[in-house]
Amino acid sequence: MTNIDFVTGFDSFSAIPEAAKKAGLKYRFAVIQDTYRPDKVYIYFDENLLMSIIDFLKGFYNAQDFQIEQRQGVAKVQLEVFLSDWNKLNSDDRNPP
């Protein structure tokens, strides 16, 4: 089972980040992917779904407008750099960004 939630706007109990205010961003938009597979005992990462979402977004926006944050605290990289590095990895070494 895959559940995809779309979140818009800021909630009423969290402060809008200062960087967002300075950039004039008054709303947010997020896609939250939650995948459950009863045949998997541990965490399951649906790589095909991630690539489908990226392809979908590339149909609406220029790929140079995207950055991927692989882990919190790690520098963001341009989408094309991420995809190039991603494709060099063995499938067992690919973890969700």
Q: Is residue 13 part of a domain?
A: yes
Q: Could you tell me the pTM of the whole model?
A: 0.55
Q: Is residue 66 part of a domain?
A: no
CB 49 within 8 A of CB 29: no
Q: Is residue 22 part of a domain?
A: yes
Give tens-digit pLDDT for 36-84: 778 877 777 788 888 888 888 888 777 666 777 766 666 778 888 888 9
Domain, as residue range, for 12: 1-44
Q: Is residue 74 part of a domain?
A: no
Q: Is residue 4 part of a domain?
A: yes
Considering only 29-38, 52-61, 84-93, which range has the smallest mean pLDDT? 29-38
How many distinct structural domains can be found in the chain? 1
